[in-house]
Amino acid sequence: MSKFCIILLLLLCCNTNFVLAQDAKDLISIRKDTLKNTDINPLAPAKAAFYSAILPGLGQAYNKKYWKIPLVFGALGTTLYYYSFNNTQYREFRDAYKDRLAGIQNIKYDYLDDNRLIEAQRFYKRNRDLSLLLTVAFYVLNIIDANVDAHLGQFNVNDNLSVRPDLYPDENFRKPTFGVALNYQFR
């Protein structure tokens, strides 16, 4: 039995070229170039921000994010509507209070006393100012969104930039452990 094992081991060691699973031509792998040669326009974010500053939503159209245009107009339109409404109400209560101080009878607000007219003025003035602040905030957010979207449009996103979980052998306990590797190749 031992002679048979020795002969079998000699045959296996000497004839290693017969047990290859691949052909020699398969061992050479030709790697395709996965990086596309795209030109980066460094002025595109500034142009998108400029377009959004001129006409809100135009920067989003420049970035080809057409679904954002109704959101921009909806946000700005809503805040401008509430600004106009609160400003109109503020002026009505202010004029009614001024008329009362001048001795002119106002039939529309005759049921309110002076303190209520002053409180209504403060309420609508505060809401008017808040609506104007929100309008400016949405306008600036529109410009920032166009700029950031143009920057991210030039960002390289492919399979080479990924995080993959992998099994690593633990050198201390000789057991496989889970880990995460972040592989980045500089070319």
Q: Mean pLDDT across the chain, nearest whole number?
A: 82
The pair phi, psi for residue 163, each rounded to 5°, is -110, 125
Mean pLDDT, residues 45-72 taken together: 95
Q: Does the structure show a pLDDT above 60 at 19?
A: no
In this prediction, residue 157 carries a pLDDT of: 65
In this prediction, residue 55 carries a pLDDT of: 96
Q: Does the structure show a pLDDT above 60 at 83?
A: yes
Cβ–Cβ < 8 Å for 52, 75: no
HEC string of 108-141?
CCCCCCHHHHHHHHHHHHHHHHHHHHHHHHHHHH
Residue extents of the structural domains in the chain: 42-156
Mention every residue, 6+ apart, whose C-beta is less than 8 A from residue 6: none
Cα 146 from chain centroid (whole Å): 11
Neighbouring CB atoms inside 10 A of 101's CB total 10
Which pTM was predicted? 0.64
Cβ–Cβ < 8 Å for 78, 138: no
